[in-house]
Homo-oligomer: A and B are copies of this chain.
């Protein structure tokens, strides 16, 4: 295997000021890395960051071409990274590292903030890099996750500058159009099996010890997680942490109501038979008010929880240097297409796509299609009920021993239907979001997740709402919900953890015997062999369902909160173990908040207020109580409407009153705003003075 020869013709045309550092690179592996393409990097050691696994069919010439593109400078459409051919027997690996100046340049492009010499977090600026702390120690300056994300980000942006062919691939698949994303093309053509950030085994062991092996029940090393796994994952665990902590007040209230409030203690009512009727009515009255207390409490709790989380989230984003991310000023995401033009804001040449067109597509295509699928869900549910009724009546009338299994047919058909529909929908949602052609990655994720989320929620909750509001069958609702809660949690944790653990232990050990000669290469290969991390969608959905259950139904089951608290304390550990041990390390972008999940939790807490009021109304105890109080049903409904509106208004006022950012962060933000306003004015003067001088000089000529 030979060293890839890079075309270094464009090297000298680089933008970065070349301060003439010496280029002394020490190679980690026994093999040769591609040379650093800029002369300004002084790093004494190359750190392998990302592993690309090629398909086994890839020919050496194609691999060579891919490596040359990754190592090529950005101006030539490359990623300006360092590549290493991997040196395994199959020859299907490429190891990628990053030179320091690429890391710094992209840090500025992403808008990451780093500690300035005066101790504040400031947007990193390449030209001003010497004033940032730890600038000389890249491993201190950027977190491992950031370095790996930067590598992925740069590879995503690799573009063909003109129509060309990928060597070694026949024409239709190997043809690259101008401005086409190279990595997307390679993935579509099936040339790349996986792209994985590499683990640092030593630090991983250390992190694991602090995270899930520790004896104490509380606390996660959030900064360490952010450092090692990156933004989105750190945000998930921070939220899980905060949420679990927030469960204490409702848990305490729930335990208090269940065990210490006499009215809810049914045993006393049963024990004292004398004067039973008045006692029971008294009890009912009290427990109705305890329902009310719980309902109002959970409404207030969910609102305050979300508002405090926003504050926490804002200060996390400051500490992690992501409060200034400006994705709209970055290059568009790889899948983005449009007519080439000048971006009116940044002045860069890039594809442009008018916003109104995107909105048209969303309004006229995406929304109707999603609506159509939601309709199919309802149709399926209706069909299920009708079939069930038909089958059971037919079985009663003319059934025999052999027709009994037919009773299960509608359920089976419905489950199959729901699953097929779900799978089809997932593909459709992806295609729809791609067609919407979002410019930013975060906006793409936002719209994609929203689509899937709406469907998932509808799919899960339509049946529950049907039971609650049409059948008005509260016992069935409780049964369904508790099974949803318990079964989903238990099955979820089992399938998510135990199965992969067993697979990891017994199945992959077979693979491990196929050792290479070189333990280093073997180690790399082991990392590639784990399954890909399935993403945080399922985790968030689980939390969302929990949260919904808690804010919707804790007034019916006061012990929900303590149970959830226990569940989450284990959930943190299992999620952590899973992430560290059972899957490939995922890429994780620097983010400033939960993104669409923030919205989802807020919408749910709104819905929960409305739903709470109406469910309370339907609960048999409240019905009895209102009948005793001599209220007509329409009066009761009117009261419920008033209560609902008042609660919603209180909720909105609370959300309005609690500021979304801590005061100190607001001051920082205003400082930045003020300073950049001043800087803009000053810059204008200077630039016009320079213009003036140039003009004078020209006139002098």
**Interface positions of A (Cβ within 8 A of B):** 117, 122-123, 125, 127-128, 131, 326, 328-329, 344-346, 355-356, 359, 363, 610, 633-634, 637-638, 641, 645, 657, 663, 667, 670-677, 679-685, 688
Is A344 within 8 A of B680, CB to CB? no
Of B123, B345, B685, which one neighbours A681 at CB under 8 angstroms?
B123
Of B346, B673, B681, B683, which one neighbours A674 at CB under 8 angstroms?
B346
A41–B638 Cα distance when bound, in Å, is 71
Is B122 within 8 A of A684, CB to CB? yes
Is B127 within 8 A of A670, CB to CB? no
Of B345, B633, B670, B675, which one neighbours A680 at CB under 8 angstroms?
B675
Of B329, B363, B671, B684, which one neighbours A345 at CB under 8 angstroms?
B671
Across the interface, which residues of B come within 8 angstroms of A123, CB to CB? 677, 680-681
Question: In the complex, what's the smallest C-beta–C-beta distance from A185 to chain B, in angstroms?
Answer: 31
Is A680 within 8 A of B676, CB to CB? yes
Is B682 within 8 A of A683, CB to CB? yes
Across the interface, which residues of B come within 8 angstroms of A344, CB to CB? 667, 671
7 contacting pairs across A/B (C-beta < 8 A): A125-B685, A329-B670, A345-B667, A633-B633, A641-B641, A676-B676, A683-B683
Is B637 within 8 A of A131, CB to CB? no
A663–B671 Cα distance when bound, in Å, is 28
Of B128, B359, B663, B667, which one neighbours A685 at CB under 8 angstroms?
B128
Is A684 within 8 A of B328, CB to CB? no
Across the interface, which residues of B come within 8 angstroms of A329, CB to CB? 670, 674, 677
Q: Which 8 A-B pairs have the closest CB atoms?
A: A676-B676, A125-B681, A676-B680, A679-B683, A679-B679, A633-B634, A128-B685, A679-B680
Across the interface, which residues of B come within 8 angstroms of A680, CB to CB? 123, 672, 675-676, 679-680
Across the interface, which residues of B come within 8 angstroms of A673, CB to CB? 326
Most B C-beta atoms less than 10 A away, residue of A131, A657, A667? A131
A638–B344 Cα distance when bound, in Å, is 51
Across the interface, which residues of B come within 8 angstroms of A674, CB to CB? 326, 329, 345-346
Question: In the complex, what's the smallest C-beta–C-beta distance from A304 to chain B, in angstroms?
Answer: 15
A674–B111 Cα distance when bound, in Å, is 11
Question: In the complex, what's the smallest C-beta–C-beta distance from A341 to chain B, in angstroms?
Answer: 13
Across the interface, which residues of B come within 8 angstroms of A677, CB to CB? 123, 326, 329, 676
A412–B454 Cα distance when bound, in Å, is 59
Across the interface, which residues of B come within 8 angstroms of A684, CB to CB? 122, 125, 128, 131
Most B C-beta atoms less than 10 A away, residue of A128, A633, A663? A128
Name which residue of chain B comes closest to A678, CB basis: B683
Is B346 within 8 A of A127, CB to CB? no
Question: In the complex, what's the smallest C-beta–C-beta distance from A692 to chain B, in angstroms?
Answer: 9
Question: In the complex, what's the smallest C-beta–C-beta distance from A639 to chain B, in angstroms?
Answer: 11
Question: In the complex, what's the smallest C-beta–C-beta distance from A684 to chain B, in angstroms?
Answer: 5
Name which residue of chain B comes closest to A669, CB basis: B345
